[in-house]
Amino acid sequence: MNNENKLSNTFIVSRALLWLLRFSILIQVAVQSWMVTRYGSSINSYFFSEHHVLDETLMVWDKIGAIALLLCCFGLFHKKFIHLMWLVSMTFLLLAIFTMIDNGSRFAPVTPWAHSVRIMIPLCYWFVVKENRWLQELGLQVFRWAVAITFIVHGIECLLAHGDFIDYIIGSGDKLLGLAISEAQAVNALKAIGVFDIVLSILLLCRRWKRVAFHMFIWGAVAALSRVTSGEFEYNWYKSLVRVANSTGPLVIYLWWGSNTKD
């Protein structure tokens, strides 16, 4: 607790920001580990389809990897293990890369960019807990770009009428509002959403406006929850939770700008 107070006094780190990062990383890691043990990883899928490694062998590797990923969370609570956050980030990067390689959709090439905030949030924590003004600033500035890139890619996918996004709009409209939204209407809505995403991202990078970060926090939560609101909770809850950083990432920026008295 004394370390947290010291960090708050040194530069830009509030206790709320620290705990928000910890919460986000814990949820993301826990859900990703569960997904890997339940359904297998993109790495598993690649080696099964391309190199014909036995599925039983790959499932054992996935379970070992999931346990190792969970153990890395010790780095969130003990500075002696803080470097494990690099391993967490590299794991999410590898998962994104193998998803890109193994996925035949036209949106596959942008997968690592779409996962930018998910990949960078453990590294943001690593930088933020350093008792060094320059490193804290660097980590949060890089994370600011990661948030913007994730939203920009989401906006581009909307403008290109991503099929899954169309289903989310149609399904959510039917389940939540009882509306029969046509595919054409969903595509038009996605165009507006895409422009909104990109404009917010540009403003996040060009202006230090807290309200922009807060709007992105709300919008990130809505987009993530659309996986649940458009379908059955039992089969979609983890798809929303693993994207927790899409919402809490902008909130980290909001708290950063709110706690830095120089701005």
CA angle at 231 for the pair 108 and 106, rounded to the nearest 5°: 15
Give tens-digit pLDDT for 116-161. 999 999 999 999 998 788 899 999 999 999 999 999 999 999 999 9
Percent of the chain surpassing pLDDT 90: 75
Is residue 120 within 8 A of residue 146, CB to CB? The reply is yes
Mean pLDDT, the chain, rounded, equals 90
Q: Give the pLDDT mean for 67-91.
A: 95
Q: Are 175 and 229 in contact (CB under 8 A)?
A: yes
Q: Which residues contact 225 (CB under 8 A, 6 or more apart)?
A: 240
Does residue 70 or residue 131 have the better pLDDT? 70
The verdict on pTM exceeding 0.75 is yes
Q: What is the pLDDT of residues 154-193, one digit of tens each?
A: 999 999 999 999 999 999 999 988 888 999 999 999 999 9
Q: What percent of the chain has pLDDT over 70?
A: 94
Could you tell me which of 141, 114, 124, 62 has the C-alpha nearest to residue 243?
A: 114
Tell me, what's the pLDDT at 9? 47
